[in-house]
C-alpha cells in the first residue's frame, strides 16, 4: 500500500519521534544565554536597596515565567507533531530568534525596551497557535489550537498595554497577562464556544517520551548555570582558599541535583530495566519551572559568596542559597504522576524541611561556611534518597 511521504502529509497526520531533534537542541542554545541573563538579574536583586527588593524580585520572576512559557509550549508542540517537517522547523527557528530578542531586551524590559519586549513576546505567543489553526484545517486538533489562540490574544492586549504604559502600570498589566496565560495552561485553555478538555479529548496525541527527553535536556542546561556562575566568579580574582571551598561546594551541589533529579523514584516503584524512573504528571511543566528556578537561585548564591566571601553574610543571600535547593526538592517531588497505589516518597519533603531548619542559624556563620553547609546537607539528602530506594548502579534513567 502506497503512503504519502512524511513531508507531504498534513500536520495533523504527523507524529513526534521519541528522541529530540538537533534543531530542538539548537533552540536550547538561546536559553543558555537567557538563563544567564536571568541569573544576572537575580544577582542584581541581591545588591539593591532593601525597600525595592520585592518589586525587583517580582520582575525577575515575571520574566522567568514568561520565558518558560515560550520554551514549554514549543517543547509541547515538538512533542505533538513532527519537528522534522519544514513548516514546523520554520516556526521553531522564528521562535528561537524572537527568544534571542527577548533575552537581549531583558535588562531594560521595564525601561526603554518595554515595547520591544512586549511586541516580540506577543508575536511569538500568538504566531504559534495561529500557524496551527491554519495548518490543522480539517483535523480535530484545530479546535485546541483555536482555544490557545483565543487565550493568548486576550493576554496580548495586556502585554501591549503594559509595554506602552510603563512605570507601575507596566508591572500590573504584565502580571495580569502572565496570570491569564498560566491559568489557560493549567485549565487546558477552555473557551465556551470552542469546547474544553485536554489533548486526548481534542484528538491530539502527545509523545510523553519525547517531552520527557526535552525536560531532561533543559534541566541539564539549567544545571550548567551552577558551574558557570561559580567558575566565572572564581576565575576573575584567581584561586583563593574561600573560592576553592565554595567552588567545591558548588560542584557537590550540582552533582547532588543531578543524582536526585534522575535517580529519585516514588515509594514502592522499582527501577525498570529500561531505566524508566517516573511518568510525567499533569503539572510537569510547572514542576520543572520550580526546579529550574531553584537551580538558578542556588547558582547565583554560590557566585555571590565567591565574590563576597567576608562576613557578615546577608540574610537575603542565605534565603537564596538555601531556598534554591528547597524549591528544587519540592519541584522534583511534584514531577511524578499521581498514583494511589504508590504514594509520593517523603524523603524530598524531609530534605526540604532539613534545609529550612538549617538555614536559621546560617546568618551567624561566615559566607564560605554557609556555602559548604548547603552543599553537605544537599549531598546528605541525595545519599539518604539513594538508600531509601536501594537503587542499583543501572544507567542514567529517563523520566
pLDDT tens digits in sequence order for the chain, 399 residues long: 344 444 445 787 788 888 889 999 999 999 999 999 999 888 887 776 555 566 678 889 999 999 999 999 999 999 999 999 999 999 999 999 999 999 999 988 888 899 999 999 999 999 999 999 999 888 888 888 999 999 999 999 999 999 998 778 899 999 999 999 999 988 889 888 877 766 666 667 888 888 888 998 999 999 999 988 888 888 877 778 888 999 999 999 999 999 999 887 654 444 333 334 445 666 788 899 999 999 999 999 999 999 888 888 888 899 999 999 999 999 998 877 665 555 567 888 999 999 999 999 999 999 999 999 999 999 999 998 887 766 544 444 554
Helices 22-45 and 53-78: angle between axes, nearest 10 degrees? 170
Give the helix/strand (H/E) hosting 168. Answer: helix 167-186
The residue among 282, 373, 377, 275 whose CA lies nearest residue 335 is: 282
CA distance 294 to 326: 7
Q: Which three cell numbers stand for residue 373?
A: 553547609
Centroid of chain to Cα 43: 18
The answer to whether 113 touches 170, Cβ cutoff 8 Å, is no
* C-alpha torsion sign, points 270, 276, 281, 283: positive
For 209, residues 6+ apart whose C-beta sits below 8 A from its C-beta are 18, 398
pLDDT for 274 equals: 35
CA distance 397 to 174: 39
Q: Calculate the alpha carbon distances from 364 to 97, 111, 351, 386 in Å.
A: 46, 38, 22, 32
SS3 percent helix, strand, coil of the chain, rounded to 5, is 70, 0, 25
Amino acid at each position: 500500500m502506497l503512503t504519502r511521504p512524511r513531508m507531504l502529509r498534513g500536520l495533523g497526520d504527523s507524529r513526534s519521534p521519541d528522541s529530540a531533534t538537533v534543531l530542538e537542541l539548537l533552540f536550547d542554545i538561546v536559553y543558555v544565554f537567557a538563563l544567564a541573563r536571568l541569573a544576572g538579574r537575580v544577582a542584581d536583586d541581591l545588591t539593591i536597596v532593601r525597600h525595592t527588593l520585592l518589586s525587583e524580585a517580582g520582575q525577575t520572576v515575571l520574566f522567568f515565567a514568561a520565558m518558560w512559557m515560550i520554551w514549554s509550549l514549543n517543547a509541547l508542540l515538538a512533542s505533538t507533531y513532527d519537528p522534522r517537517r519544514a513548516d514546523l522547523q520554520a516556526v521553531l527557528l522564528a521562535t528561537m530568534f524572537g527568544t534571542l530578542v527577548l533575552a537581549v531586551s531583558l535588562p531594560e524590559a521595564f525601561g526603554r525596551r518595554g515595547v520591544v519586549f512586549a511586541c516580540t513576546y506577543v508575536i511569538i505567543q500568538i504566531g504559534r497557535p495561529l500557524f496551527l489553526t491554519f495548518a490543522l484545517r480539517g483535523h480535530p486538533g484545530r479546535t485546541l489550537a483555536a482555544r490557545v489562540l483565543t487565550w493568548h490574544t486576550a493576554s496580548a492586549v495586556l502585554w501591549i498595554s503594559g509595554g506602552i504604559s510603563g512605570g507601575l502600570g507596566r508591572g500590573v498589566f504584565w502580571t495580569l497577562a502572565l496570570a491569564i496565560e498560566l491559568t489557560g495552561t493549567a485549565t487546558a485553555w477552555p473557551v465556551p464556544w470552542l469546547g474544553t478538555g485536554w489533548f486526548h479529548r481534542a484528538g491530539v496525541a502527545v509523545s510523553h517520551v519525547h517531552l520527557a527527553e526535552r525536560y531532561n535536556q533543559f534541566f541539564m542546561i539549567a544545571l550548567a548555570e551552577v558551574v558557570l556562575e561559580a567558575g566565572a566568579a572564581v576565575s576573575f580574582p584567581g584561586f583563593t582558599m574561600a573560592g576553592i571551598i565554595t567552588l567545591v561546594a558548588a560542584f557537590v551541589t550540582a552533582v547532588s541535583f543531578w543524582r536526585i533529579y534522575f535517580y529519585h523514584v516514588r515509594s514502592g516503584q522499582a527501577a525498570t530495566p529500561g531505566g524508566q524512573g517516573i511518568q510525567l504528571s499533569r503539572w510537569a511543566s510547572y514542576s520543572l519551572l520550580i526546579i529550574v528556578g531553584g537551580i538558578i537561585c542556588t547558582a547565583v548564591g554560590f557566585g555571590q559568596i565567591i565574590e563576597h566571601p567576608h562576613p557578615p553574610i546577608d540574610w537575603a543571600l542565605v534565603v537564596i542559597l538555601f531556598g534554591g535547593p528547597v524549591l528544587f526538592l519540592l519541584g522534583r517531588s511534584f514531577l511524578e504522576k499521581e498514583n494511589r497505589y504508590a504514594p509520593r516518597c517523603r524523603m524530598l519533603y524531609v530534605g526540604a524541611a532539613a534545609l529550612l531548619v538549617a538555614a536559621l542559624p546560617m546568618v551567624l556563620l561566615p559566607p564560605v561556611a554557609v556555602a559548604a553547609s548547603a552543599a553537605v546537607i544537599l549531598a546528605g539528602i541525595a545519599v539518604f534518597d539513594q538508600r531509601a530506594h536501594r537503587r542499583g548502579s543501572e544507567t542514567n534513567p529517563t523520566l
